[in-house]
Chains A and B, each alone.
Chain A
């Protein structure tokens, strides 16, 4: 899956978890939790969805390294190689 497809997949899941967010406007450099007011439950739901859809398991200790969509994409790309 290339980066664009990956990006779209993640945004679809995000849009499903937080339907009140306009995911079309999400920039790769924005701090997701701050910018879009995600709480720990939203983040957990997003990670569950990513695990299910992309078979990428993000351990809890790495949560802090994925503040932005760009960082999340980098991480998943590395894991799936």
Chain B
């Protein structure tokens, strides 16, 4: 038997509110399965279990504020895991979906299948609804898929929202409170500036080759297969981090622990004044196309809800990429317990010297903020040069 405790999802998190259980006693759970939704200052996150087993008991009621580390549930370990897995692999059989939430009398509620492990940017199953109904449903915390629409093709209209009672009340609002968000950012960034002796480096990178390569790639491909320059940045950074272990990992009470995995955080700006930096897990093992899909997926879930706890607390380094509407250069603040923040400014044309002539090329300023307790400027300089070199050979990314 093992204990399932409130996980920490960021240096600023002291407690979280358990807003919903997605399991109940007796349910079988699999490693990686989402079992609860927890609200922190920054987001409502889906929390996963990290072993196979059977739920013995839930110890915390929905709506409770629970300190990090406190017991949430007990799970009986599963001796037959290996056999079951093998059986499932050879003969997939329908398994009962986890109930949407625990409760004495909600068994008649429609049940959603377990969340897919890699939800892409597509969303075929989105229920039809008018924009106004969609907006109001969101404001009122109603889930459109549970409503019967009276519009064309069953589209949900505003008048249909009134049929909703508390049975249809769905996931808690996925939005964030600007004040709580600001306070969480303040806590983390103050700690970063207080504890981490940052040093900073930057470099102008010629994007001429990368831009032409990207243009060729995107030219005759449908929108879903197109790549973004930011994808090249993320991919180049992930590959460079794999070579420079001093920049990838966590700094804890016992000093620096490098990570063999590259979980690359992506700073995502939320309209309304928020910032989250969930990680693309195993970014170094993904192709450019996979990285782009992962970025799209992460940005959409940051905006819509559905980020996972593991994406919040496992990042090993973070990238901030300002994009076309940003400024020339960003010098970041490291997110503890990480030790490096890599910044990409706005790509733009600038005069560059090619041998002894001038040319106008697309360029970007890249920067590194790194932890001086772990490494020195020399390593940082080699790291930025490594990213630069990789961006000169986009075909190898």
Identify the A interface with B (CB < 8 A).
8, 11-12, 15-24, 33, 36-37, 39-42, 44-45, 47-48, 50-52, 57-60
Tell me whether B135 and A22 are in contact (CB under 8 A).
Answer: yes
Docked pose: A53 CA to B257 CA in angstroms = 47
| Chain B contacts for A41, CB-based, 8 A | 228, 230, 295-296, 299, 323
Interface residues on B, range: 20 to 34
Taking A19-B138, A21-B271 as contacts, is the C-beta distance between A48 and B224 under 8 angstroms? Answer: yes
Residue ID in chain B nearest A17 by CB atoms? B300
| Chain B contacts for A8, CB-based, 8 A | 130-131
Identify the B interface with A (CB < 8 A).
121-123, 126, 129-132, 134-135, 138, 175, 215, 218-219, 222-224, 226, 228, 230, 269-272, 295-296, 299-300, 303-304, 323-325
Taking A12-B134, A39-B325 as contacts, is the C-beta distance between A19 and B303 under 8 angstroms? Answer: yes
Interface of A is mostly: helix
Tell me whether A40 and B230 are in contact (CB under 8 A).
Answer: yes
Tell me whether B323 and A39 are in contact (CB under 8 A).
Answer: yes
Could you list 16 further interchain pairs (A-B, Cβ under 8 angstroms) beyond the known A15-B134, A36-B271, A40-B324? A8-B130, A12-B129, A12-B130, A15-B131, A16-B126, A16-B304, A20-B271, A40-B323, A42-B299, A44-B223, A44-B228, A50-B223, A51-B222, A57-B222, A60-B215, A60-B218
Nearest Cβ distance between residue A2 and chain B, in whole angstroms? 13
Docked pose: A31 CA to B138 CA in angstroms = 25
| Chain A contacts for B324, CB-based, 8 A | 39-40
